[in-house]
Structure 1
Amino acid sequence: MVEVHAVDCLFEPRPWPFAEERAGDIAAHWADALRRKPKMFDGRVLLMHRGAVETSPDGRRVFRGAYLETSFSAFLFWRDIGLPPAGVRNGFGMACLSSSDGAFVLGEMGQHTANAGAVYFASGTPDPGDVRDGCVDIEGSIGRELREETGLEASAVAFDPGMTLVMDACRVGFMKRVRSRETADALVARIHAFLARDPEPELARMHAIRSLGEIGPAVQVTAAAYLRAVLGG
């Protein structure tokens, strides 16, 4: 994991050769996925085609990268076959929501979603709506996902400066600590009430994690790595 002071990512559209070469496989995989989960939508997403941490002479660390645009179906196929080397990484923001009494609060994805049963911080692969003046607004994406998935507005929480990066060969997780003034129980109750009002909630339920022993196998790999580092002290 790497702490950075800022993230600076550009939108640099270009073809994704993997999607072009595997177009037939992608179409077949998407047709099968729709049979199982007909509510899924083949929208557009952004994948990172370059990115690295740069350190200035004064010690300031900035992650600089660039994204291309592709279909969700192409991304889903790439993900479901194990994220093989394909010239891109999934660079996504996560709202690492924590309570006033020291717990982290994560959501379990609903059965109608592509990640059913997985436990995540509010997050999502960026999409074209996150592009601002030629830049991919990762912080804005994090705030949007938090609001859409949990109902929490930015005014109700505090965002820590900077970000923690959890990186591997196929992912870059931009982890943003988000602090609530409420206890975990109150926060979970608030979000459950929001989910009950939503006719098609993305999340099925919330989970409060306070210790290493509560990081179960359903917790998404990037979120789990972050939690182990933070809770492990």
Structure 2
Amino acid sequence: MAFDIPRNQILPVDVVDVRLDAEPHPFERDNAEAIAANWAAEKAARPALFDGTVVLLSELAYGDNRLTGRCHAIRYSTFMLWRRLKPVTSAEHAFAHAMLISSDDKLVAIRMGAHTANAGKVYFAAGSFEPEDFRDGLVDLDYNMAREVREETGLDLGTASREERCHALSVESGTAIVRCYRLAATADEVAAQIARFVADDPAPEIEGPVIIRGMDDLPEGLMPHMRPLVEWHFSRR
């Protein structure tokens, strides 16, 4: 299967069958020295980085509105080397995006904190899949999205109205699996709630909220994969 998914297209997804393999990822197994050396340099630049556990794909395919894949638990230090070297034929990254849509049809994103690996970058609150995001070996997208949104913004996705169908956008840097969530509050009200959460958090991951009001209002630092997602949202009006 390897990696067989159309690039740079927003694809409808009704089933996500991405499973966690207990075997080591070949990329981590074969690059121990390079991983250690790169991590030392990353830590020197950003001492707050933590070498926790995330997952990395070894396979991903798309067909019949279905994503099928296999991934392996790796150290974050391994992910950072992969990120520097990509594209790597044996490994790719996937992550879930909760696209937050306010009652006035604006998008609410976040800007990452200066101490993080994506310092200053703007995207929808998200994080890499971790082993806790899997149920009986199968990824639980909604759990991952709810966890990441709660940790970064304090928002509870359980109070939002979600679209049943997901969508996927695969680019060189990874595959974003997106589900739209519609909020009852306006963008300004949601942003104010996030700002209060960040102000009260002793160690916030994000700098703060970013409201995207249209294609003529794209913020500085917007991650490249975000532009087509933003354009897709506003074109669906």
Which TM-score applies when normalising by structure 1?
0.92
Q: Give the RMSD, CA atoms, in angstroms.
A: 1.5
Q: Does the alignment pair 1:42 with 2:51? A: yes
Amino acid at match of 2:44: R
| Pair 1:142-2:151 in alignment | no
2:69 is aligned with what amino acid?
G
* Structure 2: runs of 5 or more not aligned: 1-9
Show the counterpart of 1:25: 34
Shift of 1:169: 4.3
Deviations 1:88-120 (A, max 9, x none): 211100111110001100000001111100001
User: 1:58 maps to which residue?
Assistant: none
Residue 123 of structure 2 is matched in structure 1 by: 120
Larger displacement relative to structure 2 (164-173 or 182-191): 164-173
Q: Distance in 1 between matches of 2:45 and 2:59?
A: 33
Matching of residue 198 in structure 1 with residue 207 in structure 2: no
- Residue 3 (1) aligns with residue 12 (2): yes
AA matched with 1:51: L
Within-5 A mapping of 1:1-233: 1-55=10-64, 61-81=65-85, 83-233=86-236
Percent of aligned positions that are identical: 33
Asked if the contact 2:157/2:181 (under 8 Å) is kept, the reply is no
Q: Deviations over 1:33-85 (max 9, x none)?
A: 11221111101111122122232xxxxx222222111110010111123x122
Preserved CA contact (<8 Å) 2:212 2:219: no
Contact 1:103–1:184 under 8 Å retained in 2: yes
Distance 1:122 1:16 in 2: 26
Aligned length: 227
Q: CA deviation at 1:140?
A: 1.3
Equivalence for 2:6: none
Describe the SS at the equivalent of 2:103: coil
**Offset, 1:131:** 1.6
Q: Which runs of 5 or more structure 1 residues have no equivalent in the other structure?
A: 56-60
Once residues 172 and 205 of structure 2 are traced to their aligned partners in structure 1, the CA distance between those partners, rounded to angstroms, is: 28
CA deviation vs aligned residue, 1:4-45 (integer Å, no higher than 9, x gap): 122121111323232233322211111111122111110111
1:65 aligned partner, one-letter code = G
- Specify the SS of the correspondent of 2:16: strand
